[in-house]
Amino acid sequence: WGMIPTGVDNGDFDIQDQNGTLQGARFGIDLANEILSGASSLGRQDIFQDLFINVCYMSGLLGNYNMSTEERTYCFVDSLERQSALIVAINTAVENGDIIGLDGWKYIWGMIFELRDLQLLSGKNLKESDPDLLTGEARIEFSRRLMQLDEPDVIHD
């Protein structure tokens, strides 16, 4: 998954495995799923969330906007590792949506919107279920709820 051991020069290290890229990507998916599964069972949400965010970044869909749209699209489409990281992140969000945290959901939506911007995801698939979702009143109510979550003395339902 593009991880190079510490102290090894990038040019001196061959990341290809002996069975080809497809099996390496499959191994990466399995490894990431096991690591995230283990971290979620530890009961330490901070470790799980850090690992989850790193998997999101491995998709290549977040943060690197110095390249053109065409280059970003090609980098994602041409990389089984990046596509695998996206799959792991989406599946993890579905299975562990309650513990990925607010930042985790921001990264998931960031990846989805980047796919849409790269025209790899049709806008027909992204429809709001609630027509009042983005009204001013709804934003204020959502902000109030988030602020209440940060207050330690507030009793939640």
- The candidate with the shortest Cα–Cα distance to 91, out of 35, 42, 33, 41, is 33
Number of neighbours of residue 28 by Cβ within 10 angstroms:
21
CA angle 25, 29, 34 (to 5 degrees): 145
- 33 or 16: whose pLDDT is higher? 33
Q: Which two tokens stand for residue 21?
A: 């890229």
pLDDT tens digits for range 20-49: 566 767 777 788 878 888 787 888 888 889
What pTM value is reported for the model?
0.63
The distance of Cα 115 from the centroid of its chain, to the nearest Å, equals 12
Listing DSSP states for 51-63 in one string gives HHHHHHHHTT-SS
pLDDT digits (tens, 9 = 90+) for 63-121: 878 888 899 999 898 888 888 889 899 999 998 888 998 899 999 999 998 998 888 88
With beta carbons less than 8 A apart as the criterion, state whether 125 and 70 touch: no
pLDDT tier, 16 (very low <50, low <70, confident <90, very high otherwise): very low
Q: Nearest 5°: CA angle at 73, between 23 and 95?
A: 55
- pLDDT for 151 beyond 80: no
